[in-house]
Amino acid sequence: MEFTHAISRIMHEEHMAVLALLDKLEHLLSANLGAEPPDATAGDVRQLLGTIKAEITTEIKLHFAFEEEHLFPMFEEAGAGDMNNILIQEHQLLMPLGLGLADMAGQAASDGFDADSWVQFRTSSGQFIDGLRAHVAKEEMGMVPLLDDLIDQDQDSNLVANYKFS
């Protein structure tokens, strides 16, 4: 989809980046379906766990906060409060789940997984992947096109200036 405004493109690109990360996480799970956990302290797995922790605690957190502080109030004013309520509820479920997952990923990258921590990581990852994919799909279908329609050039510049670059 082509977007007119820079902020719509930024949100869209971040959604695509997070979906790519979720695919990698899903691949880690599907490549280790047996009882034995993967060696989390070395190589690609360690690197992926570090990326997951960093992305959740910085990029995803900032992205959610920006939507809540700068986009949802604008949609509320435009009469799209119902959509906001659903998206906010999803943020409220996904952020604690994600932060828990980030902690587990960080711990595993330094100490490795044991049987229990691997099961817990797998369960939380599955919930996070499913929940965040569904959330991004909703935003891509409803929120990002609405944003692109709603704002003018000045608002776009303000939103970009408020996002990470402020």
Applying the rule CB under 5 A, the residues between 81 and 110 that interact with Fe ion are: none
Per-residue binding string, Fe ion, 41-80, x by CB under 5 A, is --------------------------x-------------
Cα gap 131→124, rounded to integer Å: 10
Q: Can you tell me whether residue 1 is helix, strand or coil?
A: coil
8 A C-beta contact, residue 68 and residue 91 = yes
Cα gap 124→101, rounded to integer Å: 6
Residue 108 C-beta: closest distance to Fe ion, Å: 26
Per-residue binding string, Fe ion, 123-162, x by CB under 5 A, is ----------------x-----------------------
Number of neighbouring beta carbons within 10 Å of residue 80: 17
Residue 132 C-beta: closest distance to Fe ion, Å: 9
What residues line the site for Fe ion (CB under 5 A)?
A: 67, 139
